Amino acid sequence: MRNAIISGTGFYAPPRVVTNDHLKSQYGIDTTHEWIVQRTGIEERHFADAGVACSDLALKAAEQAISNAGIAKGDLDLIIFCTLSPDYHFPGTGVVLQQKLGLCDMGKFIPALDIRNQCSGFLYGLSTATSFVRSGTYNNVLLVGAEVHSAALDLSTRGRTVASLFGDGAGAVVVSASEAGGRGVRRVHLGADGRFADILCQKIWDISQRPFIPQDAAGIGQVQPEMMWARMDGKQVFRHAVERMIGSLMEVAGQEQLTLDDIDLFVFHQANLRINQYVQQHLGAPESKFVSNIQRYGNTTAATIPSLLHEATMSGKLKRGMTVATVAFGSGFTWGAAIIDW
């Protein structure tokens, strides 16, 4: 049986650390460290400097993942790029990464696919990569989740609710074919509920209008703040996140006839540490089976799950032979859960 295994992981965060106090002292946001920590668990995040794009962060994480997988760049068959902060509106960032990896110079014109499922993006990507590998279409898929949120956050008191949550970073894995048994992605369960598309979104423009962005007399586009910045009903997101994360985890575990005791490590998407603690308590699973790094990086959206897989692998917390349950929820609403035999 042909399995899809995670053969390598990588993670990169830009060097500039922005603490909660920096949000106040450097950006003038009316907030406190205590407010943010109490509600989200976040202590600091990393922000990329101007001139650094999503594909630049992705490149560093991707190179690590490829190296840790023990393959050469030329062995890749497909790039899947998950992000909500792409370099361009179009084309997708997957092709930019392909070029930056040097694949075009090598004549490796492999396909590049972008996934736009926000915090659930990595699991949507994992499902896609697994299907391609299991079917025999591809042997090595580079799956990247990367975000440069800092460029598009309203870093003022007006935007403080959203701005205090997000950080920049990139995580990557290589999903490879393996004939060895007992290892690989067992199952991915995905879901979405488009009734809540407006609850957490960033519109920028309205494509139903002519032109899609209003212009001034000189023909310069004018984006109003309510269109430019992300909007979020935090309480609704919190409530649905808890419900969907528990539901999808139970669904995927049930389909695999696993109890929670069979899971060795829970790797949750990290929107807010309090959401994850609530879910953990509801499940009654011991804290030692959970990993988190949101305290240091904030919510890095598509990058949070691969960043945790990488950190847990490097620290030895995640070892070969363990069974991992990973869960995500985000804008859309979209969600997913996966069981992986590491």
Catalytically active residues are 119, 269, 299
Binding status of residue 82 toward ligand COA by CB under 6 A: no
The residues pairing with 81 across neighbouring beta strands, listed in sequence order, are 114, 144
Binding status of residue 235 toward ligand COA by CB under 6 A: yes
- Considering only residues 31, 140, 276, 307, which one is a binding residue for ligand COA as defined by CB under 6 A? 31
Nearer to ligand COA, 160 or 289 (CB): 160
- Considering only residues 19, 67, 161, 323, which one is a binding residue for ligand COA as defined by CB under 6 A? 161
One-letter amino acid at 119 equals C
Helix (H) or strand (E) holding 80: strand 78-82
- Pull the structure tokens for residue 289: 């089976």
Closest residue to bound ligand COA by CB:
234
Tokens 């953990």 map to which residue?
Answer: 280
Shortest Å distance, C-beta 264 to ligand COA: 25
Binding status of residue 74 toward ligand COA by CB under 6 A: no
One-letter amino acid at 235 equals K
Binding status of residue 55 toward ligand COA by CB under 6 A: no
CA of 206: how far to CAs of 211, 213, 223, 333, in Å?
9, 7, 10, 20
Binding status of residue 160 toward ligand COA by CB under 6 A: yes
| 15 CB-near residues (< 8 Å, 6+ apart) | 46
∠ CA(119), CA(121), CA(126), 5° rounding?
Answer: 135
Shortest Å distance, C-beta 37 to ligand COA: 10
Shortest Å distance, C-beta 85 to ligand COA: 13
One-character DSSP codes across 194-252 = GGGTTTEE--S--TTSSSSS-B-TTS-B---HHHHS-EE-HHHHHHHHHHHHHHHHHHH
CB atoms within 10 A of CB 166: 22
Binding status of residue 83 toward ligand COA by CB under 6 A: no
Stretch that binds ligand COA, among 34-42, 60-68, 81-89, 90-98 (CB under 6 A): 34-42
CA 250 to chain centre: 21
One-letter amino acid at 243 equals E
- Considering only residues 39, 108, 134, 187, which one is a binding residue for ligand COA as defined by CB under 6 A? 39
Stretch that binds ligand COA, among 35-43, 60-68, 148-156, 213-221 (CB under 6 A): 35-43
Binding status of residue 145 toward ligand COA by CB under 6 A: no
> Which positions lie near ligand COA, rule CB under 6 A?
31, 35-36, 39-40, 119, 160-161, 164-165, 200, 232, 234-235, 237-238, 271-272, 275, 299, 330
